[in-house]
Structure formats: structure tokens, C-alpha cells
Amino acid sequence: MSVAGPTHWQEAVIERIATATPRIISVFLKAGVARHVAGQHLDVRLTAPDGYAAQRSYSIASAPGDASIELVIEKLDDGEVSPYFHDIAQAGDAIEVRGPLGGHFIWRREDGGPLLLVAGGSGIAPLMAMVRDWSHAAVDVPLMLVCSARTWEELAFRDELLRLEASRLDFRFVAAITRGPKQRPADRDQRLDAAALKQLIAQWAHAPRHVFVCGSNRFVEGVTRGLPDDTLAAGMIRTERYGGAD
């Protein structure tokens, strides 16, 4: 079954913009695009008065069926698109979007688990859609989310995830802080790699059925290199990467 949304460009209106971390914002669009599946993205196109157009893809962080579509956008100083959303865009502005798109890096409630999600920086976006969809459905599926960030303050959605962990015994949230102290005993204060992830899985005491890893090329490569083993087949692991441009 196809999960692709409209492939033509359509107008979407910005409902509000919220700060997630010092360099990441959430842009909420008034619902009007087709219902997405957790893990999908939207293409966004900006066109200048002289006709020059730039487009980028941004993962959807909101759960399927939410009243607004939430896009997570990290500011890159040399980018063409992200500075617009951070410095210029306002509620009420209209932009062009296409989608939702993507059929590989997705999770549906009926896919089950246990579910292991691993995020680096703004790579948390599509995984938040999965966490929220999982939470709304109250499915009987253990879920562990491992998030890497430079500091505690740069963990996007940190407070929401802490509240969810406090309310659900089948949800585990682990923060990996790479340039500062960890805040909780179960967190990590070093970079994630395959060995560290295997250790976390052993402590979790669940054998993942699905593994999703999203982040920069370097992050995804570091986490997944050597990850497949006798208990975690390569076919279970899905990755999504982004490069250096926004």
C-alpha cells in the first residue's frame, strides 16, 4: 500500500513557531496536507521575488492525525532555508509544501515492537512522530528512545520525554550528552557507538524488532557500524541521514 501524499506543491500556513533548543525550532502548520505516517517528511519550497527557489525536506514530528503539522528545523548559518524560518517567518505566513513523502523510514502501530529509536540532534523529528503515535495508541509495545546531544539544554523535546517516561513503565528515555555532564544516572556522558548501543539494549532486557536511527551522516555511521549481530539482523535496522546543508 502506498503511503505517499500529494506530489504537487500546495500552500500551507504557519500557525505558530516555538523554540525547542537554542538552535532548533518547531514550525507548526495548519493541517491541510494529507494524513502522514510516523516517520514521513514534507518538502518545503521558498521562492524569492526574483523567482529563485530553494527547497528542503523536513521530517514531521507531530503524530498522525494531530491538529497541526510540526516540522523541526535546525538553524544552519550558511543555509538557504533554515535562516528564513528562524529569523523571518511569522505566524500567518504561507509557504509551499509537498507530501507527506517517504515509505521506508516509517512505523505504524500494527508493526509492533519492541521498538528501539536512536536520534542525533535534530534527527529526533521523525522519531518523535513515532513516540507520539505509540503513546496515543497505548499499544502493548516496549519502546526505548536514545537521544544524543551536545548538552542537556540541546535535547529537543526533553521535558515531554521525561514526562512520558514518568507515566509509562514500557517507555525508556536515555540521553547521551557529548559535551557536558549527564543529569541522570541512567544517561551517558560520551558519544554513542554500536558497542554503547548494544550495552543499552542488554540493560533494557528487550530484543528489538524494529530499529530506527536518524541523524547526521557521521552519527548514523558511528551508531550502525558493527551493530548487526546474531540477535539484531541488518534487516531490522532502518536509517535516515542528513548532510551538512539545511
Residue 4 inside a domain? The answer is no
| 120 touches 191 (CB < 8 A) | no
Residue 72 has pLDDT above 90, yes or no: yes
Q: Which helix (H) or strand (E) holds 80?
A: none
**Domain limits for position 179:** 109-242
pLDDT in tens, 82-109: 999 999 999 999 999 999 999 999 999 9
Residues 116 and 94 in one domain: no
Residue 44 has pLDDT above 80, yes or no: yes
Residue 5 inside a domain? The answer is no
Residues 39 and 116 in one domain: no
| 2 touches 103 (CB < 8 A) | yes
Q: Longest Cα pair distance anywhere in the chain, in angstroms?
A: 57
- In 112-220, the DSSP E strands lie at 115-120, 143-149, 171-177, 210-216
Residue 162 has pLDDT above 50, yes or no: yes
The least confident of 62-71, 139-148, 201-210, 225-234 is: 225-234
Domain CATH number, residue 170: 3.40.50.80
| 174 touches 145 (CB < 8 A) | yes
Q: Pairing relation of β-strands 41-47 and 94-101?
A: antiparallel
Domain C-terminal end among 101, 120, 139: 101
Residue 40 inside a domain? The answer is yes
- pLDDT for 1: 43
pLDDT in tens, 175-231: 999 998 888 998 998 888 888 998 999 999 899 999 999 999 999 999 988 777 766
Domain C-terminal end among 46, 71, 101: 101
Residue 2 inside a domain? The answer is no
| 204 touches 191 (CB < 8 A) | no
Residues 164 and 184 in one domain: yes
